[in-house]
Amino acid sequence: MTGLGFYELYLNGENITKGALAPYVSNLDEVVVYDEYDLCPYLKEGKNCIGLILGDGFRNNVGGLVWKFDKAACRGPLCLALSFEALGEGKSLAFEADESFKTHDSAILFNDERLGYVYDSRLELDGWANVGFDDADWKPAKFTEAPKGEKLLSGATPVRVRSRIKPVKIEHFDELPYCYKSTLDGAEPFEETLRRDVYVYDFGVNSTGLSELHIHGKPGQKITVRHGEWLQEGKFTTRTTGFFPDRNKEPDVFDGYIHWVQTDVFILKGGEETLLPHFKFDGFRYLFVEGLLPEQATADAFTFLEIFSDHKERGRFSCSDTDLNRLYDMGRRSDLSNFVFFPMDCPHREKNGWTGDASMSAEHMMLQLECGDSLRFYMHSLKNAQRADGALPGIVPTGGWGYEWGNGPTWDSVIFSLPYAVFQMDGDKEIIKENVSLFEKYLDYVMGRRDERGLLAIGLGDWMDPDGKDNTAIKAPLDVTDSVMTYYNAKRAAHLFRTVGEDEKAEKAEGYMKDLKTAIRKNLIDFDTMTVKGNCQTAQAFPLYVGIFEPEEEKAAFAKLKDIIEKDGETSRCGMIGLRFLFRVLDKFGENELAFRLITSRKFGCYGQWLKDPEATTLLENFPQGGGVEEISHNHHLLGDILAWMTYAVAGLRPNETATDTASFEIRPTFLSALDRADAYFIAKLGEEKKPARIDTAWQKDGDAVRVCVNVPTGMHGKFVCPADYISDFDGKELPVGLTTILCKKR
């Protein structure tokens, strides 16, 4: 069955839906997802009742005004398709949903993923999904036009409740506004958002989910709940959790949006009630609650239900340094809370599948989570969003927005990053085979967009450069990042093509690589100084990582990168492209001590800057600088590649680096001077059966020596590489199956 947009399925009064937001989030003119259910455990002898509630979802996405979702061609009436089949004892029974299904308005008066939810429990119909319910005043369902999209059985991990969190603090305010005119200190509130007799609930973590209300209420009592992720000078605000139209240009629209950003309204029937919103999710830490009586404002009144894709853990890192551990935990929570069927950019104001964000995060997400099936299924939406000329939009799903702005080679790289990461970590060749035409069509398209120099400058650049003002002062030139990213895309495509026997397509991709490398080296590099155009960290590190420099040139090119970093005051001055590759390059050239300082420094532009806020629990979108780019999300994953650096470079666990054999690994740690220990594990997938195999590694300092313990599972093979400033009898040797302890001594 499917429901457009969302559905909940009940059998004999019991909610048996696979998870929240079923079946999926997609443009229905491109992809229509359906689910299968085994009803045997729920059916009873005699009469049975199938009941459904439908929600708007992407079908009628009125809150997506910025991205034109409200004008998407796939809009239409809420509808469902259902086919029932039963076999047994020589008998069969089958039917499809038709006019014999009856319909009625529910107690849900409004639902939208971004704007909110309105529910009047006085309108509830007790027993509506049970046999024997009197449906005499219900109306027959009507047939409507089927959506145009490709019909697909869901292969994504369901979205489910992952935890229940109680508030850590409750404050009462005689009066308090909920939104300000900017996020800068001293900003004035919007006067129309001032409310009296308000309670603010703090749940201690910024995450994704729903606020469940449990209350003994009065008939007709109205409870309004707003969700925020950040305190502005200690005060609740929705400023970072919504986009607001220009008040001067669209006053009516602005007046609506200012009051409807992640807002729930409950009208009570009276008595004991537990109310949970349907067909939406919010990104928040704090609740701004109106309508509670003093005796109702208890810690039991609200519970934060964390809701996101129910992926199993597959890897973890920890060490003796509290800063690294905290950043790791912040990154992990950002990965989890931004994964609702597919990676979103943030769980509050946008909730969009920004392709660049997913591209930057695919590898470190695959290191932490069993998310390969979800990423593979998301590729169907990406493939169906590709335009006839080969272009891709910047967000998927989209109603048509994002083809003219918001895309480009870095964002489009998602179609290579996801399959490459899934193949590297899971050995899944099917994700490659399913997308061969997508790869080829895109490469042909983008190579046709080159300028007279043979270079590209057609998309977004090093997004959220910390020195930029509204992303207009990005230091890395666009022709550098676009051209190098297209080279990197072609390089990964060639590898994926050869993996599935598409040698002719691989040769074409390699030809594109050769042409791009020649053009980049001719036009963008000063070989007298080994400086890439832009003379900045991103422009220097990215070509070094992907192989634009020849091996004999790399040492001098890396020395130039170190010089740039030193001139930047030993701070990381990169946007999302640079921060995806900078620390990989530092690791490659044995400079992880420098990488550690760049990451943990409290200076502007470094991750440690976020640690100045003792209550930060997720990664930010950028580095606040007191002006310009300030209205930033406080829960983003796009800068989270430091999680991979911790596992690879610090703990030294490097699974399948060449993306050729999931059973291969290398243990190559760095014994950082600031650390006493580090450990990590990863669950590999072996063979065609994808058999799980967990490999563990840990190191502990003991005076001038370091003991390394590695536990290798059956079926895996790899070697140990000792840090350059240490010696070991095991250096360069194959590690046997089982537990091995290695002693490394300081040179």
The CATH code of the domain that includes 720 is 2.60.420.10
Is residue 112 in a domain? no
Cis ω before 5 (30° cut-off from 0): yes
Is residue 736 in a domain? yes
Region at 21 (left for phi over 0; alpha for psi -120 to 50; beta for the rest): left
Do 202 and 244 belong together in one domain? Answer: yes
Is residue 501 in a domain? yes
Do 319 and 303 belong together in one domain? Answer: no
Do 249 and 368 belong together in one domain? Answer: no
Q: Is 79 helix (H, G, I), strand (E, B) or coil?
A: strand
Question: Token digits for 436?
Answer: 């061969």
Is residue 658 in a domain? no
Is residue 137 in a domain? yes
Identify the segments of the chain with pLDDT beneath 50.
627-629
CB 631 within 8 A of CB 183: yes
- Write the pLDDT tens digit of every residue in 490-531: 999 999 999 999 999 999 999 999 999 999 999 999 999 999
Secondary element (H or E) of residue 555: helix 551-567
Specify the pLDDT at position 486: 98
Rounded-to-integer distance, Cα 314 and Cα 281, Å: 25
Rounded-to-integer distance, Cα 464 and Cα 468, Å: 7
Do 347 and 493 belong together in one domain? Answer: yes
Residues 6+ apart with CB under 8 A from 615: none
Rounded-to-integer distance, Cα 450 and Cα 394, Å: 19
Question: Token digits for 234?
Answer: 């200690």
Do 422 and 501 belong together in one domain? Answer: yes
Domain with 186 in it: what CATH number?
2.60.120.260
Q: Which of 309, 337, 369 delimits the end of a domain?
A: 309
> β-strands 664-667, 717-720: how paired?
parallel
Number of domains the chain contains: 4
What one-letter code names the amino acid at 129? A
Rounded-to-integer distance, Cα 295 and Cα 192, Å: 27
Do 710 and 693 belong together in one domain? Answer: yes
Is residue 196 in a domain? yes
> β-strands 150-153, 31-34: how paired?
parallel
CB 429 within 8 A of CB 419: no
Q: Which of 309, 343, 359 delimits the end of a domain?
A: 309
Specify the pLDDT at position 630: 59
Do 241 and 380 belong together in one domain? Answer: no
Domain with 393 in it: what CATH number?
1.50.10.10
CB 54 within 8 A of CB 144: no
Q: Is 165 helix (H, G, I), strand (E, B) or coil?
A: strand
Domain that holds residue 46: 2-107+119-156
Rounded-to-integer distance, Cα 486 and Cα 445, Å: 11
Do 692 and 603 belong together in one domain? Answer: no
Do 264 and 291 belong together in one domain? Answer: yes
> β-strands 339-340, 342-343: how paired?
antiparallel
Specify the pLDDT at position 626: 60
Specify the pLDDT at position 457: 98
Rounded-to-integer distance, Cα 99 and Cα 637, Å: 46
Do 183 and 152 belong together in one domain? Answer: no
Do 505 and 384 belong together in one domain? Answer: yes
- Written in H, E and C, the secondary structure of 673-691 is CCCCEEEEEEEEEECCCCE
CB 69 within 8 A of CB 61: yes
The position carrying tokens 């080994």 is 530
Specify the pLDDT at position 472: 74
Q: Which of 253, 275, 309 delimits the end of a domain?
A: 309
Rounded-to-integer distance, Cα 592 and Cα 585, Å: 9
Do 385 and 526 belong together in one domain? Answer: yes
The predicted model scores a pTM of 0.97
**CA distance to 40, 93, 95, 102, per residue, from 84 (Å):** 12, 8, 5, 17
Is residue 350 in a domain? yes
Rounded-to-integer distance, Cα 747 and Cα 744, Å: 9
CB 743 within 8 A of CB 705: yes
For residue 501, count other CB atoms closer than 10 A to its CB.
11
Rounded-to-integer distance, Cα 96 and Cα 80, Å: 11
> β-strands 315-319, 653-655: how paired?
unpaired
Is residue 113 in a domain? no
Rounded-to-integer distance, Cα 425 and Cα 432, Å: 13
